[in-house]
């Protein structure tokens, strides 16, 4: 009996080691040239490439994607996105433990998974390298890639990439394409209210966006706008 247990344990351990090795090679395939990602042009994300393939097969709106530098993105839009998606972005190293604790308590109270705590760094890693699946293995890959992303890229570069690859509607990726799609203007010319509406689009861009104007979208945008005004008021107080 003891020998059989040892054989089973050895087999399970060998399988575990084999899976780790195979997964390691898969991750090496995903890892980019970090210097190129840090200083080169904004790359197409895995989600953008996937949309291009689906569009050719199934039809639908053509891809809209025009990368821009962070310097052309209005401060109102940057702040609105941070307020909506990751208020502690410049304080954490890829994972916001405070947000995770809040999300855990919220979900436990409701007995279901109703709120996540994914940071902009995690979303950037997922968009760039991974797919939309929600498996444990994909979350593991997201964790490792987020750690590497934070180690190799500056915060402003991560934010720049995120704003250029995030989805803002079916086939609409990045803030420049979104500004042109919804308002026919460059992102640099957006008003503060338009910036807020773009930020409010991010949780579910195909259902809630400046064109659909669903009740959830309008309520979410109003909340972001209130918090943005409070943020601006605090900034003015600090300058006095």
What's the mean pLDDT in 10-22? 59
Tally the domains of the chain: 1
Q: Which residues of 2-15 are buried (b: 16+ CB within 10 A; e: fewer)?
A: eeeeeeeeeeeeee
- For the stretch 198-218, pLDDT in tens is 999 998 999 999 999 999 999
- Compare 13 and 184 and report the one with higher pLDDT: 184
Answer yes or no: is 3 within a domain.
no
pLDDT of residue 134: 78
pLDDT of residue 187: 98
80, 195 contact by CB (below 8 A): yes
- For the stretch 66-99, pLDDT in tens is 999 999 999 999 999 999 999 999 999 988 888 7
Range of the domain at 219: 64-88+97-239
Answer yes or no: is 221 within a domain.
yes
The residue with tokens 């995903």 is 30
Answer yes or no: is 174 within a domain.
yes
Residues 6+ apart with CB under 8 A from 86: 96, 99, 119, 120, 121
Residue 29 has pLDDT above 80, yes or no: no
Answer yes or no: is 54 within a domain.
no
The pTM of the full predicted model, rounded to 2 decimals, is 0.86
Average pLDDT, the chain: 87
- Identify each DSSP E strand in 130-201 by its residue range: 167-169, 172-173
Answer yes or no: is 5 within a domain.
no
Answer yes or no: is 29 within a domain.
no
Answer yes or no: is 215 within a domain.
yes
Question: What distance in Å separates the CA atoms of residue 191 and residue 226, rounded to the nearest whole number?
Answer: 15
Answer yes or no: is 16 within a domain.
no
Give the number of C-alpha atoms closer than 13 A to the C-alpha of residue 18, restricted to the C-beta side.
Answer: 6
- CATH assignment at residue 168: 1.10.3810.10
Residue 20 has pLDDT above 80, yes or no: no
């Amino acid at each position: 009996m003891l020998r059989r247990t040892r054989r089973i344990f050895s087999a399970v351990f060998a399988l575990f080691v084999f899976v780790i090795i195979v997964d390691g090679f898969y991750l090496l395939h995903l890892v980019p040239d970090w210097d190129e990602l840090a200083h080169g042009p904004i790359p197409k994300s895995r989600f953008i490439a996937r949309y291009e393939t689906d569009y050719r097969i199934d039809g639908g709106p053509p891809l809209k994607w025009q990368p821009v530098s962070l310097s052309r993105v209005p401060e109102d839009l940057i702040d609105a996105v941070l307020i909506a998606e990751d208020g502690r972005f410049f304080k954490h190293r890829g994972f916001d433990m405070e947000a995770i604790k809040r999300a855990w308590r919220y979900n436990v109270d409701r007995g279901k998974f109703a709120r996540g705590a994914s940071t902009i760094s995690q979303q950037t890693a997922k968009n760039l390298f991974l797919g939309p699946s929600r498996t444990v293995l994909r979350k593991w890959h997201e964790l490792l890639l987020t750690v590497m992303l934070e180690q190799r890229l500056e915060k402003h570069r991560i934010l720049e990439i995120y704003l250029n690859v995030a989805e803002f509607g079916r086939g609409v990726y990045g803030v420049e394409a979104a500004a042109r799609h919804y308002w026919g203007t460059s992102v640099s010319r957006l008003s503060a209210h338009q910036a807020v509406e773009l930020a409010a689009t991010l949780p579910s861009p195909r259902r809630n966006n400046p064109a659909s104007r669903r009740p959830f979208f309008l309520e979410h945008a109003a909340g972001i706008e209130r918090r943005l005004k409070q943020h601006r008021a605090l900034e003015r107080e600090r300058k006095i």
